[in-house]
Amino acid sequence: MQFTTYVFQCSLCGNKYSPDEITYTCPVDGGNLDVLFDWETIGKKTAPQDIFSSKEGGLWRYLPLLPVADPGGQGTPLRAAGGTPVYTPARLADKLGLTSLWLKDESRNPTASFKDRASAIVIARAREIGAKVVVTASTGNAGAALAGMAAAVGQKAIIFAPRTAPPAKVAQLLVFGARVILINGSYDDAFDLTIQASHEFGWYCRNTGYNPFTAEGKKTAGLEIWEWMETFHPNLQGKHLAVFVSVGDGNIISGIHKGFKDLFALGWLKKMPRIFGVQAEGSAAIANAYLAGSEQIEPVSARTLADSISVDLPRDGVRAVRAARETGGGYVLVSDAEILKAIAELGRVGIFAEPAGATSYAGLVRAVQDGLIEPDQPVLVVNTGSGLKDVKAAMQAVKEAPVIEPHLQSLKRII
């Protein structure tokens, strides 16, 4: 039985719909749908201590704040999504002159990226509605997350990915048993084809920034940040924690914002964190709109080595702009060279990030240089994915290992 009742509301026109009335986006203007809860009722039934005392280690501890019923799957990777660690990279803080710096490492998810959160919730919804097939477009991570979560509970999944997706990501899709179809085109081409196919064949579409349940999965990172603050750093509730996150289609940043907004509506979050989105200079459609003071998202021809955030037309751009604007945050642009440097710097403190994951840290470095972040500003950076997802990019961030003859004289010449 579902515990939490909700309605959908269009983020553009404000029209409301019941969950049985609509599945994906607003039929009036195509706007993304927000999930609205009756927080007064939920607040009477649930208290923060109920969350803190949960025996669930992953995102399912927040089930009373989610629009799905418990999907089962105990003892499988589906139950392990979320619950990622927060590290204290003191040497990076010292290098940047910051008093307080933390990093939330989403590479510790079952398929090694943030996208497991959205896919876990979408799989739960698919089981509720009896969907036989779940389909998505992906540059790799969202597809791997869907494939992995689907495999955990025996759900059939189909993934459309650009043929340029990193081989390691394609390998994950195949190993998890999903039907993989590579597209001779961009992520945006795959996205459009996925929607057409879902209409034609009746498949349930997971697409990011299209299916409203993806943001609900991603909001659980915001819920975890709140619980981390409450448990370990309650003094941060009175300060403006700055959260840095990389941005492609905009769904992660809007999802984290949604988590904070829901907690604020409950009265559990006292002060809204400042959210900073970071985009690659070659894929900056959302940042361009934000910096122009607009919510009009104009497509770009995306070119960046950070494939996970390489998007021509972001599908959740408006809410992504609002996530920064409504929290007093901002947007920062970084070059591919800065992203590669960030991969190396994170690696030196034991964190292996893929290009999109390192983009958030590169954005913090730039923000400090530009005076957007003061030394006493507490900061949390989100690494969205593992460097093992894109070893080719990782090798560009470091010097090649020397090859020597197996004797001491050769060793002495290089050390």
pLDDT tens-place string over residues 355-369? 999 999 999 999 999
Distance in angstroms (rounded) separating the CA atoms of residues 170 and 182: 9
Distance in angstroms (rounded) separating the CA atoms of residues 66 and 46: 12
pLDDT at 145: 96
The predicted-structure confidence for 252-268, as pLDDT tens digits, reads as follows: 999 999 999 999 999 99
pLDDT at 156: 97
The answer to whether 125 and 20 have CB atoms below 8 angstroms apart is no
Average pLDDT over residues 298-322: 95
The answer to whether 360 and 246 have CB atoms below 8 angstroms apart is yes
- Residue (of 405, 145, 398) closest to 251 by Cα position: 145
Q: How many residues does the chain have?
A: 415
Lowest mean per-residue pLDDT among 3-7, 115-119, 201-205, 395-399:
3-7
Distance in angstroms (rounded) separating the CA atoms of residues 24 and 35: 11
pLDDT at 23: 95
Average pLDDT over residues 105-121: 97
**By three-state DSSP, how is residue 356 classified?**
helix
Q: Is a pLDDT exceeding 80 seen at residue 292?
A: yes
Q: Is a pLDDT exceeding 60 seen at residue 2?
A: no
Q: Is a pLDDT exceeding 60 seen at residue 3?
A: no
Q: How many CA atoms lie within 13 A of 199 on its CB side?
A: 6
The pair of structure tokens assigned to 164 is 């340029």
Average pLDDT over residues 132-154: 94
pLDDT at 238: 60
The predicted-structure confidence for 49-103, as pLDDT tens digits, reads as follows: 999 999 999 999 999 999 999 999 999 999 999 999 999 999 999 999 999 999 9
pLDDT at 240: 86
pLDDT at 50: 96
On average, the pLDDT of the chain sits at: 95
- Residue (of 316, 329, 168) closest to 247 by Cα position: 316
